[in-house]
Amino acid sequence: MRWLCFIFAVSLLASDARKGMLLYEQTREEVERILADCVAKGVTRLEIVILPAGEPRPNVYGDFAMGYGGQVHTDLALPNPAFFQHLDWVLKRAAAKQIEVAILPADSASSLLLGNSTEKLFDWGRYLGRRYMKSRNFIWLRPSTERINALRAIEEGIQIFDSKHRFELQAKAN
C-alpha cells in the first residue's frame, strides 16, 4: 500500500509540474511544501512549462508571463518581470534542494505562439537564454510533438546565450 501511495504522489507531482501548475497555481509557500515532499519522497526532477497550452492565464499572484498589472498581451517582446522573478525563485529553491527542474519554454498548443513572428520568437528565446544561462540544476525541454517552427525559433534563440544547459526531449504525457 505504501508503494502505491508513493507512485500516486510522484505521478501527481510530475503531472502538476508538467502542466505548469507549479508556476501558475502554487504560492511560494505551496512550492516550498511541494519541494520538501519531493525531497522526502526521493523525487529528483520536476517539469514545468513557462507558456502552457491554451489561452494565457495569470499565476496565483496575478502575473501573466506576457503582460503587466493583471493585463495580458500577446507580444513576446514584452515579458513580465514579476512572472519571471517567480520562476527565478522556484529555480533557486529547487537547486537548493538538489531537485532538477526541466523547463519547457512553450507548449506547442500555447496561443501565445500564434501571432508572433519568427523573429519575436527567436528574441524571446534569447531573453530566456540570457536570463537563465547561469542558473543551476535545470535543463531545457523540447516538446514530444513535432517541432514546429515557432518552437525551433525559441530554442535557437536560447542557444545564442545558453550553451551550458542541454535540451532533452519531453516525456510523452500519459
What per-residue confidence (pLDDT) applies to 163? 86
Helix (H, G, I), strand (E, B) or coil at 166: coil
- What domain range is 120 assigned to? 2-169
Domain membership flag for residue 160: yes
Residues written for the chain = 174
Domain membership flag for residue 6: yes
What per-residue confidence (pLDDT) applies to 171? 65
Domain membership flag for residue 60: yes
What per-residue confidence (pLDDT) applies to 67? 83
What per-residue confidence (pLDDT) applies to 9? 40
Cα angle 152, 144, 23; round to 5: 85
CATH number for the domain harbouring residue 122: 3.20.20.80
Domain membership flag for residue 174: no
Instruction: Please list the rounded mean pLDDT of every run of 10 residues in the chain (174 residues).
Output: 38 46 90 94 92 90 86 86 94 95 90 88 94 91 73 91 84 56
Q: Which residue has the cell 505504501?
A: 2
In the chain, where do the E strands start and end? Answer: 45-51, 100-106, 138-142, 167-169
- Domain count for the chain, please give it: 1
pTM of the predicted protein model: 0.82
Interatomic CA distance for residues 81 and 65, integer angstroms: 8
